Chains A and B, each alone.
Chain A
Amino acid sequence: MGEVMQLKTGSEGIGVAGRRFTKVNEIIERHGRTPSALIPILQEVQEEYRYLPEEILTYIAVAMGLNPANVYGVATFYSQFSLAPKGKYVIRICDGTACHVRGSEKIKTALWEKLGLSDERKTTDDLRFTVETVSCLGACGLAPVVMINDRVYGQVTPEGINEIIDQIIAEEEGEKNAPEEN
């Protein structure tokens, strides 16, 4: 399991899980318990967890006095929300017309192959990478376009994307081996 799931306990302070959960409460408190606050709350909670775990959605329903069915409905309606865990790096391959014509499909296949993913398996087991397709990212001039978290990469080739991934992995490994600072 990746470090995302690991808990620090004992003298180091309450675990990551506990801290995150208190965050959820802060978020709800800050927005107030009106139904219209649900979407911004879900957005912020998703930032915390990188996805919307079922039990947290249930908790939000209780805390806001909403039906869990409503909350689930909203969470599944907007494409920005994910109910499955997402990786630390979310790779969005544009599949809009321009990018499609310029070979976005090949990039997807290359990525899937490299990371062992598929249409059903969107996230790697170590929760490092998630690969998704999206419609037009609004940068058609740069097609084919790939976004990794907030960074946009234009005119990507299958080889090029592999390099980018390797680079990320190298950085990650480096970080991991570096002495931990507190």
Chain B
Amino acid sequence: MNAAERNNFVLIDQQRIEVNGEKSILELARKAGIDIPTFCYHSELSLYGACRMCVVEIEGRGVVTSCSTPPVPGMKILTNSPRVQRVRRTVLELLLANHDRDCTTCDKNGRCKLQELADRFGVRKIRFGERDEKLPLDESAPVVRDPNKCILCGDCVRMCEEVQGIGVLDFVNRGSRVMVAPAFNKKLQDVECVNCGQCSAVCPTGALVVKSEIDKAWAALHDEEKLVVAQVAPAVRVALGEEFGLPPGEIVTGKVVAALKRLGFDKVFDTCMAADLTVMEETAEFLNRIKKGENLPQFTSCCPAWVKYAEHNAADLLKNLSTCRSPQQIFGSVVKRHWAKKLGKKPEEVFVISIMPCSAKKFEAARPEFSVNGVRDVDLVLTTQELARMIRESGLLFDQLEVEAFDMPFGLTTGAGVIFGATGGVAEAVLRTAHSLLTCKPADEYANDGLFNFETVRGFEGLKEAVLEVDGLEVKVAVVHGLGNAKRLLAEVKEGKANYHLIEVMACPGGCVGGAGQPVATGGEAKKKRAQGLYSADKLSQLRKAHDNPAVARLYEQWLKKPNSSEAHKTLHTSYQMRGRITGEEITLLTSKQENKINLAVCVGTCCYLKGSYDTLKKLMEKAESEGVGDRINLHATFCLENCEKGGPSVRVDDTVVSGVTPDKVESFFTENILGKLKIPAESQ
């Protein structure tokens, strides 16, 4: 036994490094300041160990993948030996040979890991053939998928499955035809993708990117007729600086405003103002539900990826979602339906562009319920990254811009709206206002007693809780981020194991600071710094409770009257629609060639299946047979009739959907809906 072993040391490139519970050589080497290249390793995802980019050489063992090999005391490791160099280069060359190398027109150009590593390891020539096949792109959703750029690292597959708990993507085919795709190669808009974009955030190449809509922004900005209004989401101001060499978390609000003005925006407003309005509406709704004891727990509804997730997976809990629109949509409504009118403008003469950390916001803004007479409340959504690109395109030196203030009246904000950008922020903002309203004490009494801060809902723990006691009422709050965490909590709520009154859900790990539209942040560090940035901005704010926002107060005075008024309901609230989890062709079971026939479809989507729809289906078939009407029925099994919340199993009879056709109700259902319609009396057997 040599000294190194006894002392729990390994040798990495001749340096003695102490092993301290590191799970892999990779992790240890990074701590020792050696940046081993990787494609398929992500600290927040499970080990995959397939790309072989991370190879090192261990004396006596040869070349191994460092991400999946634990360090053993006494090991002698080389991270840059000739053999290691050779393997890495071959890996890169093989990947590049199979890659559509159209870098100049690629969205990831300059941010692509493949490009970066090829450059870092000096790959100048590729000894293997070229990719001959060009597969079609999927541009149906805010996340654009280009299979020609995929290097099969599987990062997106694991992100969507492990962190988001959804599993939209997987490996398909084998051999040289392997690729990563949704089920049946469907488009992302046709599967249960919630547009969170987290897959694109980990994709090392241009195979998954957030759709760029910069051209539409320039077109609007260059259109003389249009009054172009910007709203800037909270998370943007603590991340945009990173694109220009500033540290994560640095608050660059003033520079963002200045940049937007220089790009030609007529007005630059703050989404945080709308967030304050959201807090007013959502708190009033919440207190009302508490009073009546109905639809609890109340779920927040600011995150459109979470909303879509709920629409796909939690039909029975949709009534528990707050009906408040998200700050982005509330802002759009306020500007188009109220502010424009005051200026004497029609909604279509004002063009609202939001600057968001988020890909799902693109989907949200396009939802039909957020248009009035064909005019969208929010015309266009740009991500933080898209804004950075526009700033670069226009040649502005971002870090040298003189700071400017938001325009009035919607530049007035409080700290409550600002913290919306971090996980726990919405809950904390609601708690602040709920607490004040319930205790009816003037705000300044709490100014220094810590009640502004609900520390327990802050931070990056998967599930956070807070309890607020006011006048004998114990209000329990839970906060989750990452849809995988939400999925687990939902299951507990459904089983009656979790008793909360308010649940905040943000789809992205860390909340919006970790949105897919933000600058690429490897590891959690940058996200944490951004969240800290938001909390310090909150601390520095003069006003820290939404109901103290004078701009919000004025909106109520002049327009909305009071929270949850009928005008507020019309313009600031919304409703949700059930969405099938699975879409698919129907399964044909009986076909009728007769003229006078009935079209029957039994839902075998997840909800209905769990309620026994298969047995319903079987009984229906048997019944059709025993009644001798099998040839007068077209019978299908179908996937989700989008009627789940009414209680399955659902059956569609011609054009009407009947709910609750459990197996034991088949008899009466058949007599009423089928024999009746076919004009066959029930007795005729």
Contacts and interface: CB of A to CB of B under 8 A. Distances in A.
A73 B171 contact: yes
Contacts of A13: 625, 630
Given A14-B630, A67-B167, A7 B174 contact: no
Given A13-B625, A14-B621, A70-B167, A58 B591 contact: no
Contacts of B170: 67, 69-70, 72-73
Given A11-B628, A73-B171, A55 B585 contact: yes
A76 interface: yes
Interface in B596-649: 604-606, 609, 614, 618, 621-622, 624-625, 628, 630-631, 635, 637, 639
A62 B605 contact: yes
A15 B609 contact: no
A9 interface: yes
B182 interface: yes
A61 B13 CA distance: 49
A14 B625 contact: yes
A73 B174 CA distance: 9
Contacts of B624: 14
B481 to A, nearest CB: 22
Contacts of A117: none
Interface in A65-82: 65, 67-73, 76-79
Interface stretch (A18-26, A36-44, A154-162): A18-26
A17 B604 contact: no
A14 B166 CA distance: 37
Contact of B590 (A15, A58, A72, A76): A15
B417 to A, nearest CB: 37
A79 B169 CA distance: 21
Interface in A45-89: 53-59, 61-63, 65, 67-73, 76-79
Interface string B161-172: 100001111111
Contacts of B182: 69
Interface residues of B, number: 41
Contacts of A77: 171-174
A17 B589 contact: yes
Nearest to A79: B174
Given A9-B630, A15-B589, A17-B588, A73 B605 contact: no
B628 A68 contact: no
A119 to B, nearest CB: 14
Contacts of A141: none
Contact of B169 (A55, A56, A69): A69
A2 interface: no
Contacts of B631: 9-10
B499 to A, nearest CB: 26
Contact of B582 (A14, A17, A68, A76): A68
Contact of A55 (B167, B172, B584, B630): B584
Given A10-B628, A14-B625, A58-B639, A21 B587 contact: yes
A73 B178 CA distance: 10
B90 interface: no
Nearest to B589: A18
B590 A17 contact: yes
B50 interface: no
B183 A68 contact: yes
A98 B166 CA distance: 47
A76 B589 contact: no
Contacts of A78: 174
A64 to B, nearest CB: 10
A7 B590 contact: yes
B591 A15 contact: yes
A176 B625 CA distance: 27
A67 B162 CA distance: 12
Contacts of A14: 589-590, 621-622, 624-625, 630
A25 B609 CA distance: 12
Contacts of A25: 614, 618
B359 to A, nearest CB: 19
Contact of A62 (B168, B585, B588, B606): B606
Nearest to B174: A77
24 contacts: A9-B590, A11-B630, A13-B630, A14-B590, A14-B622, A14-B630, A15-B630, A17-B588, A17-B589, A18-B635, A55-B585, A55-B586, A59-B584, A59-B637, A61-B582, A63-B604, A67-B170, A67-B183, A69-B181, A69-B182, A69-B191, A70-B167, A73-B172, A78-B174
Given A9-B631, A72-B184, 11 more contacts: A14-B625, A15-B630, A53-B587, A61-B582, A63-B609, A67-B166, A69-B168, A69-B183, A70-B170, A76-B174, A77-B171
Give me the 6 closest cross-chain CB pairs, A-B, nearest first. A68-B183, A67-B167, A58-B584, A10-B631, A73-B170, A69-B170
Interface of A: 7, 9-11, 13-15, 17-18, 21-22, 25, 53-59, 61-63, 65, 67-73, 76-79
